Amino acid sequence: PSDLRRRTARLLALRTLVITFVLGLSVWLLAREEHPARAAMWWQSSIIAAQYVATVVFGALLRGKIRPHRVARPMLASDLVLTSALVSATGGAQSPYIFLYALTIVAAGALLYRRGAVVATLVSLGAMFGVGLLANHQEIVDLVRTLGINTAALIGVGALSYIFGDQLERGAETLATTRRAAAELLTLHQDIVRSLSSGLITTTPDGTVITANESAAAILGRADL
| Digit-coded pLDDT (tens) for 5-36 | 888 888 888 888 888 888 888 888 778 877 76
CB 107 within 8 A of CB 15: yes
Question: What's the pLDDT tens digit per position in 138-195?
Answer: 678 788 888 899 999 999 999 999 998 898 888 878 887 888 888 888 787 777 777 7
User: Which contiguous run of DSSP H or E holds residue 35?
Assistant: none
**CA–CA distance, 108 with 113 (Å, rounded to integer):** 7
Question: What's the pLDDT tens digit per position in 51-69?
Answer: 888 888 988 888 887 888 8
**CA–CA distance, 78 with 108 (Å, rounded to integer):** 12
CB 110 within 8 A of CB 11: yes
